Structure 1
Amino acid sequence: MCPPASGSSGLAENTSSAPIDPAIYPDYIPTDSGSKANYTYAATQLHPEILRHSLRVYLLAHAIASREGCAYATDPRKLSLLFAACIFHDMGTCASHNGPQRFEVEGGDAAATALRSQGYAEDEAHDVWVAIALHTSPGIAERISSLARLVRLGVAIDFKRPAAMPLSNEDEVLRFEGKLPRGEIEKVLGDAVANLALEKFGHDEAALATKAPGSSWPGGLVKSRRENPEWQGVNKAF
Structure 2
Amino acid sequence: MTTTQNTTLIPDTKLAKEATDILREHGTDLIYNHSVRVYLFAAEQGRHAKLRFDPELLYVSAAFHDLGLIKAFSSETERFEVDGANAVRQFLTTHKIPEDQIQVAWRAIALHTTPGVTQYMEPEVALLFSGVGLDVLGEGFDTFPVEVREEIVAAYPRVDFKEGIVKAFFGGFAHKPGSTWGTVKADVCERFISGYKSPNFCDLIANSPFPNSIRH
TM-score band w.r.t. shorter chain: 0.7 to 0.9
d(CA) in 1 for partners of 2:99, 2:105:
10
1:182 aligns with 2:149: no
d(CA) in 2 for partners of 1:64, 1:115:
25
The alpha-carbon deviation at position 66 of structure 1 amounts to 2.1
In the alignment, which residue of structure 1 is the partner of 2:61? 85
Cα distance per residue 1:63-116 (max 9 Å; x no partner):
1222333332xxxxx221011111111111111011121111111111111011
1:139 aligns with 2:116: yes
The alpha-carbon deviation at position 228 of structure 1 amounts to 8.2
- 2:193 is paired with a residue of what secondary structure? helix
User: How many residues are matched?
Assistant: 192
In the alignment, which residue of structure 1 is the partner of 2:173? 197
**Residue identity matched to 2:62:** C
Structure of higher CA gyration radius: 2
Cα distance per residue 1:110-149 (max 9 Å; x no partner):
1111011111111111111101111111211222221111
| Structure 1 stretches lacking a partner, 5+ long | 10-27, 73-77, 202-207, 230-238
1:98 aligns with 2:66: no
Aligned partners of 2:80 and 2:172 also within 8 Å: no
Aligned partners of 1:97 and 1:110 also within 8 Å: yes
1:156 aligns with 2:133: yes
d(CA) in 2 for partners of 1:67, 1:6:
9
Aligned partners of 1:158 and 1:173 also within 8 Å: no
The structure 2 residue matched to 1:222, chosen from 179, 184, 189, is 189
| Structure 2 stretches lacking a partner, 5+ long | 197-216
Distance change (3 Å), C-alpha of 1:159 and 1:192: closer
Distance change (3 Å), C-alpha of 1:7 and 1:127: closer
Tell me how large the CA RMSD over aligned residues is. 2.2
Aligned-residue sequence identity (percent) comes to: 22
**Residue identity matched to 1:83:** Y
Aligned partners of 2:52 and 2:123 also within 8 Å: no
Aligned partners of 2:69 and 2:171 also within 8 Å: no
In the alignment, which residue of structure 2 is the partner of 1:125? 102
TM superposition score normalised by structure 1 = 0.74
